[in-house]
Amino acid sequence: GAEGESILLFLDREGIAASSGSACTSGDLKPSHVLLGMGIPPQIAHSSIRFSLSYETTKNEVDYVIAKLPAIIANIRKMSPYGDDVSQKMV
């Protein structure tokens, strides 16, 4: 697993804007009540991040995020006491 807030910090360092939780609870460190209501375990819900796209978002910008995100997640998992343990249980 990788904490959502950690992911956001690393994304920001790459110039990528994202957030965790829903728009109405931005800044709240609790896991999304929607994800919890769907039966997602809290530890996995804490790993969620949200990207907002608009008609001005380009394919190159989306491709940039797709290219950067796997390395960011891998780096955070290396530092996490949970490592890949949580990700192995994800559906």
Residue 35: active-site member: no
Selected residue with higher pLDDT from 22 and 12: 12
Q: Which two tokens stand for residue 75?
A: 């780096």
How do the domains of the chain map onto residue ranges? 4-89
Selected residue with higher pLDDT from 63 and 46: 63
Look at residue 79 and tell me whether its pLDDT is greater than 90.
Answer: no
Catalytic site residue from 24, 38, 66, 91: 24
Which of 20, 72, 80 minimizes the C-alpha distance to 48? 20
CA dist 13 and 15 (Å) reads 5
User: What does CATH list as the number for 4-89?
Assistant: 3.90.1150.10
**Structural element, H or E, at residue 44:** helix 42-45
Give how far the C-alpha of residue 45 lies from the chain's centroid of Cα atoms, to the nearest Å.
Answer: 9
What is the per-residue pLDDT for 46? Answer: 83
Choice among 23-37, 41-55, 77-91 with the minimum mean pLDDT: 77-91
The whole-model pTM stands at 0.72
19: which strand partners?
50
